[in-house]
Amino acid sequence: MAELSGVLVRTAVFLMVEVLVQGGAVQSPDTQVGCVFGGSCVLPCRFQPNGDTILHWVKRNGKNVQVHSYYDDQDQLGYQDPLYKGRTSLFHDQISGGNASLGLARVNLQDQGRYLCYTSTSQNNQEAFVTLTVRAPVTKVDIVLGNNNVTCQSGGIYPRPQLTWSVSPRPSTVLQNTTEVHEDDRGLYDISGSLRTVYNDTESTYSCSVQNEHSAKKAMMRPLPPMQSAPNSEVLLPCDASGLDDITWTFNHNQTILRRQAGQEKVVETEWQQHVRDLSESGSLLLYVTSSAQSEGTYRCTLRYADEEDVTHIELKILEDPVAEGSHLTLPMLQIIVFLTISALILWLCMVKQPRLPFFTTGYLFQFFFFGFIFIVFLLFCCCNAQLIASLI
Ligand SMILES: *[C@@H]1O[C@H](CO)[C@@H](O)[C@H](O)[C@H]1NC(C)=O
Ligand SMILES: *[C@@H]1O[C@H](CO)[C@@H](O)[C@H](O)[C@H]1NC(C)=O
Ligand SMILES: *[C@@H]1O[C@H](CO)[C@@H](O)[C@H](O)[C@H]1NC(C)=O
Ligand SMILES: *[C@@H]1O[C@H](CO)[C@@H](O)[C@H](O)[C@H]1NC(C)=O
Ligand SMILES: *[C@@H]1O[C@H](CO)[C@@H](O)[C@H](O)[C@H]1NC(C)=O
């Protein structure tokens, strides 16, 4: 008997919902709700409480889609559309107080549309509409400097965003620029733009703004003139921050060197700890550079603000010393040749020019010690470069 009455109640309710909705009775205006993509939100609905409550949330987009039902003091999800499975909830403890609001989790773009909140008690029936729109705000804009262009990109945005460039100082001509927008499989937009710049320009700053109706973010690129440094030395990479800025230094775009958040100590990545000597109040980085293979590349100082990121871009070149580089082989070889030549010359002078010098004269002693000295130096030299000599033989 109870089952039968339950079925009757349900059938009656569905028919009523249909009639009410199709009938287009005079309604109060829809409540507008904006939900963030991927987040949770509440579709508000209030009614006059009076004992037993029957409650239906139905989405109206051409046809009725069952979102959530409640009667006999419990959720009734047998007819719930699979699109809403596991994502809806009511505030059960507040239904008796007239709160029929619906909680919706993991919001996606298909959830957009008009929802009917239908409530029925022994005293009266009520309906209210909620229009749900979804937004995915611009969260981050990446800007990268190329040889003769600046590129900028952002993603996961809804509704469709726009991208605009501004250049300071204002260029005399319009700069060639392109923008591409792609829709991903979730219906969100990725956007990227490229601006042709003057070749190797280090006078201008470039700003890229990505925005839609609900949000906007900006990224600014400030290229500095390329810098040079000797290997195994310290170099000061400038940045223009204040002590309160959130600052990050990166190398070759994907390696973080360090980060200093407002009012906190800097955090240096393990592999950079040997290289970072100091970070000044203004964010300038004193770095110990080694070889071109290790330290040459792009250094970027990024300052993060609420709606903007400012990037300072520095190309660092390490000038290897060609003599120091080649010395392992050429210099000792040169020394050997010089030693051998001088020795041979002196030997020849002694043997040929003065063959009949009497024994124990000062001249003879001088030559004896001189030769001995050279011989010992030569031996020492050979010992020290044993490896080299071995490789030569
Ligand atoms: C219903 O209750 C929830 C949870 O306390 C609250 O967030 C919401 O604002 C209430 N809605 C209305 C319309 O009172
Ligand atoms: C920008 O310049 C880089 C090289 O500096 C190049 O690889 C890239 O294709 C350029 N992008 C556009 C959109 O012109
Ligand atoms: C980008 O191109 C558009 C037209 O193609 C132009 O109106 C705009 O001024 C350009 N932007 C810059 C910064 O030159
Ligand atoms: C621009 O910079 C690149 C690399 O830094 C360099 O190879 C090129 O010669 C420069 N071009 C001009 C015109 O200065
Ligand atoms: C950074 O990118 C380069 C290529 O652009 C790659 O070879 C390298 O493995 C990347 N490093 C990290 C830490 O992701």
Q: What is residue 52's three-state secondary structure?
A: coil
Whether 136-223 shares its CATH topology with 224-320 is answered: yes
CATH superfamily of this structure's domain 136-223: Immunoglobulins (2.60.40.10)
Kindly identify the ligand whose nearest atom is closest to the C-alpha of 163.
3
Is 199 touching ligand 4 by the criterion CB < 6 Å? yes
Is 164 touching ligand 3 by the criterion CB < 6 Å? no
Is 252 touching ligand 4 by the criterion CB < 6 Å? no
- Residue carrying the six token digits 């419990």: 74
Q: How much is the pLDDT for 89?
A: 97
Is 149 touching ligand 2 by the criterion CB < 6 Å? yes
Six token digits for residue 316: 């660092």
Is 177 touching ligand 3 by the criterion CB < 6 Å? yes
Measured from CB, residues less than 6 Å from any atom of ligand 1 are 42, 44, 46, 91, 94, 99, 101
CB 43 within 8 A of CB 117: yes
Question: Could you give the C-alpha distances from 185 to 38, 159, 182, in angstroms and in order?
Answer: 14, 14, 10
Is 199 touching ligand 2 by the criterion CB < 6 Å? no
- Answer CATH for 2-135 from 2.60.40.10, 3.40.50.2300, 2.40.100.10, 2.40.10.10: 2.60.40.10
CB 288 within 8 A of CB 277: yes
Nearest one of 217, 207, 221 to 154, comparing CA atoms: 217
What are the sequence ranges of the domains in the chain? 2-135, 136-223, 224-320, 327-392
Kindly identify the ligand whose nearest atom is closest to the C-alpha of 297.
4
Q: How far is the CA of 201 from the centre of ligand 4 (A)?
A: 10
Q: How far is the CA of 193 from the centre of ligand 2 (A)?
A: 11
Kindly identify the ligand whose nearest atom is closest to the C-alpha of 101.
1
d(CA 281, CA 241): 8
CB 253 within 8 A of CB 144: yes
d(CA 299, CA 249): 7
Q: Cβ atoms within 10 A of the Cβ of 188, count?
A: 21
Q: How much is the pLDDT for 88?
A: 97
Six token digits for residue 278: 């100091």
Which atom of ligand 2 lies closest to the CA of 194? 13
d(CA 168, CA 183): 32
d(CA 324, CA 201): 34
Would you state the torsion angle of the CA atoms of residues 381, 382, 387, 389, taken in this order, to the nearest 10 degrees?
120
Nearest CA to ligand 5 atom 9: 254
Kindly identify the ligand whose nearest atom is closest to the C-alpha of 255.
5
Largest Cα–Cα separation, the chain: 144
| 377 CB-side CA count, 13 A | 13
Nearest CA to ligand 4 atom 14: 200
Q: Check: CATH 2.102.10.10 for 224-320?
A: no
Kindly identify the ligand whose nearest atom is closest to the C-alpha of 226.
4
Q: From 144, 252, 257, give the residue whose CB has the most ligand 5 atoms within 8 Å, as the site to mutate.
A: 252
Which atom of ligand 4 lies closest to the CA of 226? 5
Which atom of ligand 3 lies closest to the CA of 166? 13
CB 304 within 8 A of CB 246: yes
Is 200 touching ligand 4 by the criterion CB < 6 Å? yes
Q: How far is the CA of 164 from the centre of ligand 3 (A)?
A: 8
Q: How much is the pLDDT for 23?
A: 44
CB 228 within 8 A of CB 242: no
Q: From 42, 48, 55, give the residue whose CB has the most ligand 1 atoms within 8 Å, as the site to mutate.
A: 42
Q: How much is the pLDDT for 327?
A: 46
Determine the straight-line distance between the first and last CA of the chain, rounded to whole angstroms: 108
CB 343 within 8 A of CB 335: no
Q: How much is the pLDDT for 389?
A: 55
Please list the pLDDT of the chain residue by residue as tens digits (393 residues): 445 455 445 545 554 455 454 444 556 899 999 999 999 999 999 999 998 999 999 999 888 999 999 999 999 999 999 999 999 999 999 999 999 999 999 999 999 999 999 999 998 899 999 999 999 999 999 999 998 899 999 999 999 999 999 998 888 888 899 999 999 999 999 999 999 988 777 789 999 999 999 999 999 999 999 999 999 999 999 999 987 889 999 999 889 999 999 888 999 999 999 999 999 999 999 999 998 899 999 999 999 999 999 999 999 999 986 655 444 445 566 677 777 777 777 777 766 666 555 555 666 666 767 777 777 776 776 666 655 555 554
d(CA 195, CA 164): 10
Beta strands 308-318; 227-229: pairing state: parallel
Q: How far is the CA of 324 from the centre of ligand 4 (A)?
A: 27
- Residue carrying the six token digits 């250094």: 299
Q: Cβ atoms within 10 A of the Cβ of 115, count?
A: 25
